[in-house]
Structure 1
Amino acid sequence: MKAWLICIDDTDDIGTKGTGEIAEEIAAKLAPRVPQDARPAITRFVTRHQLFVHPDIPYTSHNSAMCFQVETDFDFAEIKAICIAHLKQESAAAADPGLAILDLESDYNIGQLIAFGKQSKVEVKTKEQAYQLAAELGVDLSEHGGTGQGIIGSLAGLGLRLSGQDGRVKGQLTLGEDHDESAVVQPSVAQMLKQTGLQAAISTTGEILNHDEQISLTGQIKAVYTQHQFALLVSNESGEWRNATKQQLKPY
Structure 2
Amino acid sequence: MSSTESCTGHWGQADLYEQILSELSALSKPLHSLTVEDLAPMDHFHARGFPATVELADKLPASSEQCLLDIGCGVGGPARYLAQRFACRVTGIDITESFVETGNRLTALVGLETQVQIELGDGQRLPYADDQFDGAYSQHVTMNVADRAAFFAEACRVLKPGGFFALTEHGLGDTGNPCYPVPWSLDGSGSYLIPIDETRALLEENGFEAIQIEQTGARYLSGYRAAVAKAEAGTLPSFGVHLLMGESAVEQMRNAGRNIEEGRTCPIQLICRKRR
The verdict on a shared fold, with TM-score over 0.5 as the criterion, is no
Which of the pair is proportionally richer in helix? Answer: 2
The interval holding the TM-score normalised by the smaller chain is: under 0.3
TM-score by length of structure 1 reads: 0.27
